[in-house]
Amino acid sequence: MTGEASVAAGSTIDALGQFELHPVLGSLGEALRFSQSPLFMLIAVVLVLAFLFIGMRPASVVPGRLQAAAEIGYDFIHDLAIGTMGEEGAAFFPFVFALFFFILAGNYLGLLPFSFTYTSHIAVTLALAVTVFLISILASLRFQGLGFFKHFMPAGAPVWLSPLLVPIEILSFLSRPVSLSIRLFANMVAGHVLLEMFAGFTIMLAGLGFFGHILAVAPIAINIALTALELLVGVLQAYVFAILTCIYLREAVAH
């Protein structure tokens, strides 16, 4: 949510203005094409790393609260990654960890007032999904060689169906990065548009006089509920992205 949305004269709501990119640091940002989106990526990354490094600084056998939290984060993704991919996929654990926390921090940072949600940009989510897609293809070719292409013909299916099955399998394989990126992007956009809409209603109703003031409480209550929902959606989408990545990579490393 940004404060950028212009609720002009109490008659319109600009629900999409919050997704606009603006250069930060004036002309320097413009020259470097550095908008608030990479700025919040940087903030997210620094926060996650600070959480891990400060949390693990005591490195004690009996952890304190922050260290326990950092260890829980580690264990959660480690169990997810190794549980899905097996020990062969251990090399991809840091990648899955980075993906999950990059997305989670982006989703949650975006819930703060005056911040920006970089995961609400299809360019960002598509870049992440394409990275996953390319890595899974490269891993498949490295672990299975040309046997990778056997995946496009389901085992046990009649051969005469192959002209139908193979194109379908190829299409479903190619649609992976699309569905992966649009799922995250659409969830974040929808949530933030809704928040903006209801916040706009409050301002509009407040302009209607006494009864408007009373009615204006309702959208605020809804927004509180929506914020709770967004907290759930934020971690859920990060989890879904991470576990789908693990599933794709498992196919790549499984023999």
Helix, strand, or coil here: 25?
coil
Q: Is 95 in the site for another protein (CB under 8 A)?
A: yes
Q: What secondary structure, in 3-state letters, does 100-135 show?
A: HHHHHHHHHHCCCCCCCCHHHCHHHHHHHHHHHHHH
Dist CA 254 CA 156 (whole Å): 19
Which lies closer to another protein via its Cβ, residue 164 or residue 224?
A: 224
CA distance 210 to 127: 49
Minimum CB separation of residue 151 from another protein in Å reads: 27
Single residue of 13, 85, 129, 139 touching another protein by CB under 8 A: 13
**Smallest separation (angstroms) from another protein to the CB of 32:** 7
72 makes contact with another protein (CB under 8 A):
no
Distance CA 247, CA 83 (A): 10
Contact between 96 and 245 (Cβ < 8 Å)? yes
Tell me which DSSP letter residue 210 carries. Answer: H
Binding status of residue 68 toward another protein by CB under 8 A: no
Q: Are 21 and 79 in contact (CB under 8 A)?
A: no
**DSSP annotation of 159:** G
Among residues 69, 82, 111, 122, which is the contact residue for another protein, using CB under 8 A? 122
CB of 19 or CB of 108, closer to another protein: 19
> Under the criterion CB under 8 A, does residue 97 sit at the interface with another protein?
yes
- Closest CB 173 distance from another protein, rounded Å: 23
Site string for another protein, 23-62 (x = CB under 8 A): x--------xxxx-xx--xx--x--xx--xx--x--x-x-
Within 10 angstroms of residue 214's Cβ, the number of other Cβ atoms is 11
Q: Does residue 70 belong to the site contacting another protein (CB under 8 A)?
A: yes
- Distance between CA atoms of residues 46 and 63, nearest Å: 22
Minimum distance, C-beta of residue 145 to another protein, in the bound complex (Å): 26
Contact 21, 34 (CB under 8 A): no
**Element at 151 (helix H, strand E):** none
For 210, half-sphere exposure in the C-beta direction (CA atoms, 13 angstrom radius) is 0
> Out of 80, 81, 128, 253, which residue is the one contacting another protein (CB under 8 A)?
128
Could you list the residues that contact another protein (CB under 8 A)? 8, 11-17, 19-23, 32-35, 37-38, 41-42, 45, 48-49, 52-53, 56, 59, 61, 67, 70-71, 74-75, 93-95, 97-98, 102, 118, 120-124, 127-128, 131, 185, 189-190, 193-194, 196-197, 200-201, 204
